[in-house]
Amino acid sequence: MRWPAEKHGVRLEVVKYTEVKYGFVLLPRRWVVERSFAWAARFRRLARDYERFGKILAELHCIAFAILMHANLTRLLAQS
């Protein structure tokens, strides 16, 4: 699974426990992925599996994240 990430210049970081822990323990950097999935879930078309082809679904994810990045950039530019 490492080669697709390296091909696109993405650095993968595997987070493992250093000691045995019980109960709920927040892993570092996990919230970034969960937040991104929550943002994507707000798009109705991505909430259910309506698409017949995986390529279309992948493109819709790209469009959704492009919209989210545009909104974040415009918010940052408005603040400065």
pLDDT tens digit at each of 80 positions of the chain: 567 777 878 777 776 666 666 777 776 666 777 788 888 888 888 877 778 888 988 898 899 999 998 998 999 899 87
64: domain range?
A: 2-79
Q: For residue 1, what are the CA distances in angstroms to 15, 22, 32, 52, 63? A: 15, 29, 20, 25, 24
Are 49 and 43 in contact, with CB atoms under 8 Å apart? Answer: no
Rg over CA atoms, the chain? 17
Q: How many domains does the chain have?
A: 1
Residues 47, 15, 65, 77: is their CA dihedral positive or negative? Answer: positive
Q: Look at residue 77 in the predicted model and tell me its pLDDT.
A: 92
Q: Look at residue 17 in the predicted model and tell me its pLDDT.
A: 66
DSSP H helical ranges for 1-80:
2-7, 30-41, 44-47, 54-79
pTM: 0.56
